[in-house]
Homo-oligomer: A and B are copies of this chain.
Amino acid sequence: MYFYDPAERDPKELVPGINARTFWGENMLIAVVDLDPDTHMPRHSHHHEQLGNVIQGQMELTIGDEKRLVKPGDVYIIPSGVEHEAQTFDESVKVIDVFSPVREEYK
């Protein structure tokens, strides 16, 4: 089984208003994340390295002490242990987040 359609996978609610559909291999887990408008992912960190890509919409993303308004196409890299948080505004946002090692609690 190599191919997946996120529309066929049940979402997991990470926090209210933020839902992820996740898929994983041996070393990485990919999360297709939908964020509702006016939603906040609280500041947090984890030992997993995280790469992200914005698919749709804009949001404010803070990584360490850098804060940016990210837009479709933008890439971000969150090293292991670095705190980060996100805030959406008047539109829904879709991002891809990839974690290594596999984030077991997101399976």
| Residues in chain A within 8 A of chain B (CB atoms) | 2-7, 23-28, 30, 32, 49, 51, 53, 55, 61, 63-64, 66, 68, 70, 73-80, 82, 96, 98, 100-101
Determine the main DSSP class of A at the interface with B: strand
CB contacts (< 8 Å) of A73 on chain B: these are 5-7, 32
Q: Please tell me if the beta carbons of A23 and B51 are within 8 angstroms of each other in the complex.
A: yes
- Decide: B28 and A49 in contact? CB cutoff 8 A: yes
**Residues of the B chain whose Cβ atoms lie less than 8 Å from the Cβ of A101:** 27
CB-CB under 8 A from A26, the residues of chain B are 49, 79-80
**A9 CB, min distance to chain B CBs, angstroms:** 9
A98 — which chain B residues lie within 8 A by C-beta?
28, 30, 51, 98
Besides A2-B66, A25-B79, A27-B49, 9 new A-B residue pairs in contact (Cβ under 8 A), listed by A number: A2-B64, A3-B75, A4-B75, A25-B77, A26-B80, A27-B100, A30-B51, A30-B98, A32-B73
